[in-house]
Chains A and B, each alone.
Chain A
Amino acid sequence: MNVLIDNSDLFITGFKNTGILFVISGFFALILGTVVAGMRVSPAPAMRAAGTLYVNAVRNTPLTLILAFFALGYPKLGLPDISFMTAAVVGLSLYTATYVSEAIRSGINTVAVGQSEAARAIGLTFMQTLSLIVLPQAFRSVVPPLFSVFIALLKNTTVAAGFSVFEAGAIRANLSERGEPLLPGLLWVALIFVVLVLGILTPLQRYLEKKWRVAR
């Protein structure tokens, strides 16, 4: 308990930055993932191919490598400077978007064929069918897998600690600088994650799952 109280500044800043990383990356990942999912079911073969290529390439690359590229490689390219935080957000968004797109795509496949047939029968275009008819239904059945993706994102934010972002994963390095006991400090970090995942996100997932259950 002492470690937590004596270094509450570290823990508060650390988890605040974890929260910022989580919310911003989650937001962009959701948007990008939905767009990519739309591309992967679109009528144009080139769009499908581009979406598939992106998903397969990024999903088979470790997150650590993607973050390493944006944190260590990007500054060498002579482009406008970005902060380590921004680099981490870009890396996490690009990585998580592939999982979001796969979750949404499997959700699109659960929507009954009759729905999109009916939409086409009344003259809606592909974009209208997708955005007005299919996606609103798909999002509901996608809640459980999407939440798993976001839980994974929350845990993945710790990897950014390796690339100069001060968040929950970096608390350890700062504790050791102050000469504080490491094991209790790390166990506190682990415990806070357990509370965030099992205490907040999982109950929220159950609640939304129940509330938005598709009646079929």
Chain B
Amino acid sequence: MSSVLFDVPGPKARVRNVYLNIATIVVVVAVIAFIVFRFYESGQFTAKKWEIFTFPRVQQMFLKAIGATLSAFAVAAVGSIILGILLAFGRLSDTKWVRVPCYWFTELFRAVPLLILMMIMYYGLPSVGVKGITPFLAVVVGLILYNGSVLAEAFRAGIESLPKGQREAGLAMGMSKGQVLRIILLPQAIRAMLPVIIAQLVVILKDTALGFLITYNEILFLANYLGSQGQYGSPVVPALMVTAVIYVGLCLILSGIAKFTEYKMSSRTRAVKIKVDTAG
């Protein structure tokens, strides 16, 4: 942290910090204890409610659901990056009738809620006779349109942050504008923007859960289905707990990869520091 809001604690401050620490720990433990106690009181930890998760068939269903989440994530991630690069090129184009539509495309698809995009795909298009829209397709296309637009901004910011000399040197060597963009600017921009790109990938992974609302058979959908099984005591809360652990686990793995690449990159090159918000 660059700014330090407090001095090195003296004897009085150290005592106060001890009290503050104890108070915080007491509050946190009390909150967690209350939640666990409520779970226990309402019978969420009984064997009956957890029995369903011991069946090999249910475990296979979970693996399948994780596969569904990850495959939507993988396709959407690749698609978003490609769309992002294309839109960023479009926005940097010298031709007005390429630049302006690309600008509006990114602005519009960032302004529409992702869930509404998915609904337009899944419910709207079939109602006017478009056939073959599966939940998977709706989820993936929605994710690509939204995240592609967000990534386009990131790529553009990355390219514009590069020193002007890079572009000028490329042009001076007789490269075409497209070549300069592709061979010289884009690789540097991607490296500089890698933290932003990977943060956006975590957003994509989280947003695949929206597929639950348009009947895509992913993890949350399965959890909801298992939670409604009356003969096993409707284990909604246990099913949601399992789902939460899986999602947090997947996201932490992805964030871990992000930290690792960032570390690798920063130790090798002086990465350009740019701020682009990725509020998901």
Contacts and interface: CB of A to CB of B under 8 A. Distances in A.
Q: Do A and B come from one complex?
A: yes
Contacts of B149: none
B236 A76 contact: yes
Interface residues of B, number: 64
Nearest to A114: B3
Contacts of A176: 123
Contacts of B210: 62, 64, 159
Contacts of B39: 77
Interface string B107-123: 11011111111011001
Contact of A183 (B2, B125, B248): B125
A114 to B, nearest CB: 9
A46 B23 CA distance: 9
Contacts, number: 184
Contact of B237 (A41, A42, A73): A73
Interface string B10-21: 000100010011
B116 A193 contact: yes
A60 B255 contact: yes
B58 interface: no
Interface residues of A, number: 63
B128 interface: yes
Interface stretch (B75-83, B239-247, B259-267): B239-247
Interface string A69-82: 10011001111000
B234 A172 contact: no
Contact of A62 (B25, B119, B206): B206
B195 to A, nearest CB: 13
Which of B227, B240, B255, B279: most chain A Cβ within 10 A? B279
B120 A186 contact: yes
A65 B240 contact: yes
Interface string B83-120: 00000000000000000000000011011111111011
A24 interface: no
A198 B107 CA distance: 8
B112 A144 contact: no
A134 B5 contact: yes
B274 interface: no
Given A42-B20, A65-B247, A145 B277 contact: yes
24 contacts: A44-B17, A46-B22, A60-B247, A61-B206, A62-B220, A64-B209, A64-B210, A65-B240, A65-B243, A68-B212, A73-B237, A76-B42, A78-B41, A108-B3, A113-B2, A149-B279, A151-B111, A155-B114, A168-B116, A181-B127, A181-B128, A182-B123, A186-B119, A190-B113
Interface of B: 1-7, 9, 13, 17, 20-22, 24-25, 28, 38-39, 41-42, 44, 107-108, 110-117, 119-120, 123-125, 127-128, 202, 206-210, 212-213, 220, 223-224, 227, 234, 236-237, 240, 243-244, 247-248, 251-252, 255, 277, 279-280
Interface of A: 41-47, 50, 57, 60-65, 68-69, 72-73, 76-79, 99, 103, 108-109, 111-113, 116, 120, 126, 129-130, 134, 144-145, 148-149, 151-152, 155-156, 158-159, 161-162, 168-169, 172, 176, 181-183, 186-187, 189-190, 193-194, 197-198
Given A109-B1, A120-B7, 4 more contacts: A46-B21, A69-B237, A72-B236, A78-B38
